[in-house]
A = this chain, B = another copy of it.
Amino acid sequence: VTQTDPMTPSLEQLVDDDRITLWGLVLEAQHQVSAALRSDLADGMPYPEAWFEVLLRLGRTPGGSVPMTKLARMVLFSSGGFTKLADRMEAEGLLRRVACPGDRRSSLATLTPKGRRALEKALRVHVPSLERHVASVLDASERAQLEHIMRKLRASASPPGTYDD
């Protein structure tokens, strides 16, 4: 007999787990596609990728205004990190902080006309890029499967009420 407990998996058994392979695949695919999208986007926007995410979130909000902390969560940033990101974007004239009418603690990040134009220009590059690197790679059925799977994973890992859509 060996020293190994037959019920305790060895390192070799642990590392070859299908669940590790699956999640690694998700990380690699996301990273490679993001790199391709970022490379394309550089042609339509002279700003970092994170700035585009902020512009996009503001553009998808009816009034073009979102409270700082809420916007930070939407673009997957810490509160403190987003303050500095907003500083840089405000210095560039892409957004403005506007006092929140109902709550004097809060300020609303608001898209400026220049920010709107930058977003529009970026989207005219980014949407075809998404088509090329994501949508056209999958058929309609696979796209529907992907959306369904990602909704389940996101819902399972997020506190309730984190996402609206």
A156 at the interface (CB under 8 A from B): yes
Instruction: Name the interface residues of A1-31: CB closer than 8 Å to any CB of B.
Output: 11, 14-17, 19-23, 25-31
**B33/A120 in contact, CB under 8 A:** no
Nearest-neighbor residue (CB-CB) of A127 within chain B = B17
B-contact bits for A110-143, CB 8 A (1 contact / 0 none)? 0000001001100110110011011101100011
State how many angstroms separate the Cβ of A156 from the closest Cβ of chain B. Answer: 5
Query: Assuming the A-B contacts A30-B30, A156-B137, are A119 and B20 also in contact, with contact meaning beta carbons closer than 8 angstroms in the complex?
Result: no
Copies of this chain present in the complex amount to 2
State how many angstroms separate the Cβ of A149 from the closest Cβ of chain B. Answer: 5
Query: Assuming the A-B contacts A19-B127, A165-B21, are A133 and B147 also in contact, with contact meaning beta carbons closer than 8 angstroms in the complex?
Result: no
State how many angstroms separate the Cβ of A36 from the closest Cβ of chain B. Answer: 5
A76 at the interface (CB under 8 A from B): yes
Mark A residues whose CB is within 8 Å of B.
11, 14-17, 19-23, 25-37, 56, 59-60, 76, 116, 119-120, 123-124, 126-127, 130-131, 133-135, 137-138, 142-143, 145-154, 156-158, 162-163, 165
List the 8 closest pairs (A to B, CB-CB), nearest first: A32-B157, A29-B154, A29-B150, A19-B130, A14-B123, A29-B153, A25-B150, A137-B156
A sample of 6 more A-B contacts (CB under 8 A), given A26-B30, A27-B30, is A15-B60, A26-B150, A33-B156, A134-B153, A138-B149, A142-B149
